Amino acid sequence: KATAIDPSVVGEDGVYHHTGRVRVFVSEAQAIKAIKREEIVQGDIMVVIGGGPSGTGMEETYQLTSALKHISWGKTVSLITDARFSGVSTGACFGHVSPEALAGGPIGKLRD
């Protein structure tokens, strides 16, 4: 394939498009609890803030991407964070968002 992104989620224009309900969390643990409680639904956009350099110091969010991988529809959920990802993360993961939430970046303005 010509891209690292799964071709099934890329539009004809070659751009990844996703529209969904935003769910904002302040920790990876909080986000995982939401998955376990079945509060996350197909097509949601999960946002984890506070994991950047000024927050928890660029923690790795592998557990969250792993949890999504084990849900049959997990690849329909997008994940955005100012933290970092493991090299084995899968799905629509957008990390290292800068400026980070605690520096006043736009990611910190998102709300459920």
Helix, strand, coil share of the chain (percent; to 5)? 25, 15, 55
**Span 60-102, pLDDT tens digits:** 888 999 999 889 999 899 999 999 988 777 778 889 999 999 9
- The C-alpha atoms of residue 65 and residue 88 are separated, in whole angstroms, by 9
Each residue's pLDDT tens digit, 12-66: 887 777 889 999 999 999 999 999 999 999 999 999 999 999 998 888 888 999 9
Active site residue 86: yes
β-pairing, 78-81 with 92-94? parallel
pLDDT at 10: 75
Name the catalytic one among 72, 86, 89, 98.
86
pLDDT at 1 over 60: no
Global pTM reads 0.85
* Domain range summary for the chain, segments of one domain joined by +: 17-109
Superfamily of the domain at 17-109:
IlvD/EDD C-terminal domain-like (3.50.30.80)
